[in-house]
């Protein structure tokens, strides 16, 4: 493992193959490394020799001996647009430089110095740290005054008898450190009345409700500042602050959404990109997002169906003074035969001739335009008016 470490996916795959004395890294091995986030952790966050050694060790194992998910299983992680090699390299170098800038921020240095003695936690330490209950409720100053390590202690919920329990039945918290224990009562629960005293700590794979005046609340405040300042995801900002992971700043991203006013749905996509990204990369990202969002609805609705849809909608307004949605709610026996005859009279060359064809064409167009459904490759994210 001599020389400079690879900075791109292409060079990383070639380097792994070379170190394993292979002409080319097998596709199954590479796909597994990508699926299990080993490539992501190396390129986006660490880019250090220790992380590369872990990656090399994983690549050397036969697939049957590897821990974790089977090849091909999905985690629901977001898909990043495909970048050209030089675009990818620029993004990685830029992300690393932003992390260097952020590491010199006085807020970051002060918090790391106070909580972690000027360093950061390793992966398993961070997982254990964020699994503790005490830091969600009490401040760092409380830990110092109590002589308890905020990082190396253990804590869990207890009931009125002092036995371990779940959050819903909790009456207090028990903290243990160096063979000693200390119990504290929960006096401030998350509710509508106390919501202003609580906030959300964003982690990479989940979110935690924490008190604003708590150790985790202090971390959330600084992480939120970093996320706003450096265009990071909230979970990535927390991972950088606590673990030193380098957040990867996407130069292009597509955010699918579904607006949900009271009487219709609107499928939208926000395409955000930095101007140095090439136009064909932007086009590829748009096409890929459109394919995933639209699923089978990717083609434009034909003119004939659009005109028919407008004709039926106008008939509803003139005849009933109501929209189609209102008629459906009121379970009106809609006169499709009459509508089809009127349509055939006004549009004798239309391909929609019989009652069933007119009815099906209208309902299909209504579903695609007024009640669209996001494709199966994207989770449904409802967007409120405040988002737009």
Asked whether the CA dihedral 233, 237, 243, 244 is positive or negative, the reply is positive
Q: What residue segments make up the domains of the chain, in order of their start?
A: 9-77, 97-243, 252-297+380-385, 303-369
Q: Are 16 and 25 in contact (CB under 8 A)?
A: yes
pTM: 0.65
pLDDT at 333: 93
Which two structure tokens, joined as six digits, stand for 275? 């101007």
Q: How far is CA 3 from CA 6, 15, 49, 309, 358, in A?
A: 9, 11, 10, 65, 69
The answer to whether the Cα torsion of 130, 132, 133, 136 is positive or negative is negative
Q: What is the pLDDT of residues 18-72, one digit of tens each?
A: 777 777 888 888 887 887 777 877 776 555 666 777 777 777 765 433 333 332 3
8 Å CB contact between 57 and 51: no
What is the helix (H) or strand (E) element at residue 54, kind and residue range? helix 49-60
**pLDDT for the residue 82:** 65
**Rounded-to-10 torsion of CA 358, 363, 366, 368:** -110
149, 135 in Cβ contact below 8 A? no
Take residue 92 and report the two structure tokens written for it: 């990685």
Q: Which portions of the chain are predicted below pLDDT 70?
A: 1-4, 44-50, 61-82, 190-193, 295-298, 374-388
């Amino acid at each position: 493992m001599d020389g400079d470490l690879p900075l791109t996916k292409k060079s990383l795959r070639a380097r792994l193959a070379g170190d394993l004395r292979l002409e080319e890294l097998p596709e199954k091995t590479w796909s597994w490394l990508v699926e299990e986030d080993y490539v992501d952790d190396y390129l986006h966050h660490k880019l250090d020799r220790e992380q590369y050694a872990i990656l090399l060790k994983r690549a050397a194992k036969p697939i049957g001996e590897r821990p974790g998910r089977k090849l091909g299983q999905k985690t629901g992680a977001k898909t990043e647009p495909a970048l050209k090699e030089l675009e990818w390299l620029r993004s990685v170098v830029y992300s690393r430089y932003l992390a260097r800038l952020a590491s010199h921020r006085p807020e970051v240095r002060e918090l790391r110095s106070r909580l972690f003695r000027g360093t950061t936690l390793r992966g398993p330490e961070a997982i254990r740290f964020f699994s503790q209950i005490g830091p969600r409720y009490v401040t760092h100053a409380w830990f110092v005054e109590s002589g308890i390590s905020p990082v190396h202690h253990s804590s869990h919920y207890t009931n009125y008898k002092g036995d371990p329990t779940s959050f819903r039945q909790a009456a207090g918290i028990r903290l243990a450190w160096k063979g000693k224990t200390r119990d504290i009562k929960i006096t401030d629960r998350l509710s509508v009345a106390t919501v202003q005293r609580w906030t959300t700590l964003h982690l990479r794979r989940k979110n935690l409700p924490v008190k604003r005046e708590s150790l985790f609340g202090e971390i959330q405040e600084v992480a939120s500042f970093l996320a706003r300042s450096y265009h990071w995801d909230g979970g990535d900002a927390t991972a950088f602050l606590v673990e030193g992971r380098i957040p990867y700043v996407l130069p292009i991203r597509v955010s699918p959404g579904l607006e949900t006013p009271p009487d219709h749905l609107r499928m939208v996509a926000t395409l955000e990109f930095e101007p140095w990204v090439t136009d064909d990369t932007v086009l590829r990202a748009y096409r890929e997002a459109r394919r995933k969002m639209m699923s089978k609805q990717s083609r434009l609705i034909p003119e004939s169906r659009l005109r028919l849809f407008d004709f039926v909608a106008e008939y509803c307004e003139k005849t009933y003074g109501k929209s189609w949605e209102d008629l459906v709610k009121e379970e009106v026996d809609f006169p499709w035969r009459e509508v089809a005859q009127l349509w055939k009279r006004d549009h004798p060359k239309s391909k929609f001739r019989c009652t069933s064809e007119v009815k099906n064409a209208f309902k299909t167009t209504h579903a695609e335009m007024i009640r669209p459904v996001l494709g199966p490759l994207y989770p449904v994210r409802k967007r409120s008016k405040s988002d737009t």
